[in-house]
Structure 1
């Protein structure tokens, strides 16, 4: 019993300490559930680096195309805007980076009406998803853009958009045209991000940046999987799946340094930096602008980054 007591005291002391820690690198959080937003917003966190749309869409429960079929687009748009407000309001003026829907076809099929609108794919992970899907089904993406626009029209300036699973630059060109048509780019504060999770995007990043984006977030889960050719859900090969593999670290560093070169925001939204402090150190050294982690490791990540930054400062001073 006594040991347990001691542990609790240590924990609360660590908490008080973390509240006082300030880092040059922003610590963001990954969120999906609206009812968690107000609570997490009270933590020592600099914003939401990944707001996943999927939980909200699953809660709505009906395939977006079913709304279109029934002429009820406004119902979907208003519901999505209402749910997004539950994140935007408690975090304002801190940034909220909304990742547009990245359901795969097998996940979309589970929604009401899904089987009518979705093809059956043998490998949904590499199938009809992400940026290409918005180009093929612009009417669904346009509803998401309208929901975001509603929030900007209310005067909020902290909701930004991130495009997932971008494979080739021409996809981004087409997506950007759609975002422009929505009127969102007319707000000078609006920021357009992309997820860097496909090797073709990671290794050709300069071409994507030249299309015109404000930020990137590295999706380490998919990127590691595709760089190593490993299905992370397969236990048979799980030993090979490791973000600390040199090739993965080299690609992460290349992404961060490329963003620095072009002076755009660079974040990461996988578990890697909080699981492995040595990855956090390497990314902070390379000049990453933020780390986005799950709420339970916000304080721990802040502490890791604080220690790395202090170490860097001492090294620079010692030169």
Structure 2
């Protein structure tokens, strides 16, 4: 008999039993008889989760006296292991398994073989279904599949009959798993408390048994057609994929979307008597179990892709489409997702969205830059977070430590809230410095500017008291658009930003797209083949090749700044000729506007981002033609150390306070002396208090940082005597200590300068 036929027979009988008017215990007693009989098994038992323990509720083959007496904790024995891991066990010799526990009251000593499957509802184990046999043999795959299908339907029937405590389903999983701390990669610092919300909400399957098999099959066929159409159109969507991996992701999705084997397995599940939703979920459960057995990372990624596709299919067939943003956030929330695009993040209510936890994500992802601008803590690279978190779970996000606490205990929650309150108090004290100019103790005025990329970010100028915008990332407008933004639309944005800045300086960086920030409407075969996208076809390299893109942005900036001062900065300049070529584009557009008597900017200042080390070697040749230089420490660090910051193994390996970086920066400062240029640092390094202290010691007098860091850095500046830190830094650079960070920290503590 096939698995489908066997499962169908069991399902038919189960449906009749659960529809009968007998009491719950009698129903379960009949259920174990049916399952044992259909699978020719000498034992069948059902354990249900009650008050955090797995209680033997019904059995055929074990001692009846053990019913409601034998209880196992989640993770205890074979049954507890199945519930904890939500996995299937199939053993020819149960006693040989390391988690085996013998319970004398059950009389199970004579049974050797053992198989068990979790009874799962809403992604939680609410019980375990087991079978046993005297002979030491593994159950056939057809029997295991029938058992798994049965358990799936049994979950619905048990729930509807009220056979499990409500807490097993409704308390956020505390009874099942309790508090859990998981770690990831620190992407955006900060603290957050909220309820877990899935970016793509899970579909709750309320009906598992089909009334009309052919009707269910047609629903699946239609869903497959729609899903394949979506996949085929996906390349046209601006926020599809993750940077340069877009084409690879698309091809993998297509492979699975058109895989006949996947469709056949879903059909077989429908044949067993399941609804379309339940059939897809049944095949998905099997995929999850296979994923646990796979060690190869590449194959694991492929299985994750298949799960993502199954989620898409089940949402289509159930009609439960859309993201949590479209439904709206009802309370303070922590968003849980595999990954996000910047446009997706911006769809959420900023008042309710308190933090983000991603399975993927990297320091260079543009969604991280958006989150940092919004002040939303983000933790990435949290493996299997969507499998560990339940919808509605209480979550504590510690972006400073890179940890997420799920379902915290009362004591842990209170301690976190106390720390959170102290953090808010600290922020309030920084806010009081809004209108205070950042002078050092020895009277040096430090320019503290902020980074921005969204029109709404400009409002932070007044809130933080920043001196201006030292980096306006113009690419955000491109990243959140489905097509290349029209010149008029670009110009309108730049004009609005300058108006909102109310006379404060704004430095516009020309588009830094390409590489890991690829756009579907601007593609290149070279970019697709980039093995190291951060060092590939991106930023000014791309813009100079795509002359239409550069011309359009140049004219938009000139038109948008009409009647005002315009500051333009070119990213990723490697050699002087690249700056000259970019400026020539602006000169051409300026002549065009002059000839047509257009209103022009009152002054135009040009600068570069120093992030490619080669530029430092020829900077003296370029300085006479520049108004300013901004050292981009984020990219500069990875280029200096040949270390990809997106690689979690390397993300924190190289310290910003390494003598290699500090000596490099010091040399740039020294080489810039005698030239009438404004030299500053633009990047995350300048927003950290200890690192900012080091930069002041190197002679840096302009910092452009995230808005959240303005207050803390202002407060630091007012405590520092630049003469003292400059002298100390000279000594450290000449004879570097073994641990520069510790040395600098000790220096600050001696002077009661808080640096954390």
Q: TM-score, normalised by structure 2?
A: 0.37
CA distance in structure 1 between the aligned counterparts of 2:454 and 2:601, rounded to whole angstroms: 27
- Contact 1:256 1:283 (8 Å CA) reproduced: no
- Aligned position for 1:156: 564
Match of 1:16 among 413, 432, 446: 432
Report deviation, 1:311: 5.0
- Structure 2 residue matching 1:261: 3-state secondary structure: coil
* Partner deviation per Cα, 1:95-150 (whole Å, 9 max, x = no partner): 101110011145333x3x34478741223221212223232222210101111111
1:229 Cα shift? 1.0
Match of 1:219 among 623, 626, 632: 632
Equivalent residue number for residue 165 of structure 1:
572
Partner residue, 2:501: 91
Q: Is the 8 A contact 1:270 1:292 kept in 2?
A: yes
Alignment-derived partner of residue 611 in structure 2: 197
Are 1:140 and 2:549 matched, yes or no? Answer: yes
Superposed displacement of residue 9, structure 1: 5.0
For 1:216-255, list aligned pairs within 5 A.
Answer: 216-255=629-668
Which SS does the other structure have where 2:435 is aligned? helix
**2:722 pairs with 1:306:** no
Partners of 2:726 and 2:649 in 1: how far apart?
A: 43
2:586 aligns with 179
Q: Is the 8 A contact 1:102 1:130 kept in 2?
A: yes
Over 3 Å counting, the alpha-carbon distance change for 1:229 and 1:115 in structure 2 is: closer
Alignment CA distance shift 1:245-1:276 (3 Å): farther
Range with greater deviation from structure 2 (43-52 or 130-139): 130-139
Q: Is the 8 A contact 2:687 2:706 kept in 1?
A: no
Name the CA distance, whole Å, in 1 between partners of 2:545 and 2:522.
16
Task: Between 142-151 and 285-294, report the one with greater CA deviation.
Answer: 285-294
Structure 2 portions without partners, runs of 5+ = 1-413, 440-444, 595-599, 728-756
Instruction: Provide the secondary structure at the position in 1 that maps to 2:480.
Output: helix
SS at match of 1:182: helix
Give the alignment's Cα RMSD to 1 decimal.
2.8
Name the structure where strand makes up a greater proportion of residues: 2
The residue number in structure 1 matching 2:447 is: 26
Matching residue within 286, 289, 294 for 2:706: 294
SS at match of 1:191: strand
Is the 8 Å Cα contact of residues 564 and 601 (structure 2) preserved in structure 1?
no
The normalised TM-score by structure 1 is 0.83
| Equivalent residue in structure 2 for 1:257, among 670, 675, 689 | 670
CA–CA distance in 2 between the matches of 1:10 and 1:216? 33
How far apart, in 1, do the equivalents of 2:492 and 2:602 lie?
24
CA–CA separation in structure 2 for the residues paired with 1:314 and 1:250: 15
Structure possessing the higher radius of gyration over alpha carbons: 2
Distance 2:579 2:422 in 1: 53
Q: Does 1:104 align with 2:496?
A: no
Deviation at 1:271, TM superposition (A): 1.1
Distance 1:124 1:19, change over 3 A: same
Aligned partners of 1:106 and 1:121 also within 8 Å: no
SS of aligned partner of 1:19: coil
Q: 1:190 to 1:272 in 2, by over 3 A?
A: same
Instruction: Identify if the C-alpha distance between structure 1 residues 187 and 313 changes in structure 2 by more than 3 Å, giving closer, same or farther.
Output: farther
Q: Give 1:38's aligned residue.
A: 459
**Which of the numbers 284, 289, 299 marks the counterpart of 2:696?**
284
| 1:128 maps to which of 537, 544, 567 | 537
Which region of structure 1 is more displaced relative to structure 2, 142-151 or 6-15? 6-15
In 1: Cα distance, 2:525 partner to 2:450 partner: 33
CA contact (8 A) 2:631 2:681 kept: yes
Deviation at 1:315, TM superposition (A): 9.3
Q: Distance in 2 between matches of 1:188 and 1:37?
A: 21
1:42 and 1:85, CA in 2 relative to 1: closer, same or farther beyond 3 A? farther
> In structure 2, what is the equivalent of residue 208 of structure 1?
622
Distance 1:12 1:82, change over 3 A: same
CA deviations over 1:214-263 (Å, ceiling 9, x no partner): 10111101111011111111112234322111111111122223223312
**Structure 2: how far apart are the matches of 1:9 and 1:107?**
37
Describe the shift of the 1:167–1:285 C-alpha distance in structure 2 as closer, same or farther (beyond 3 A).
same
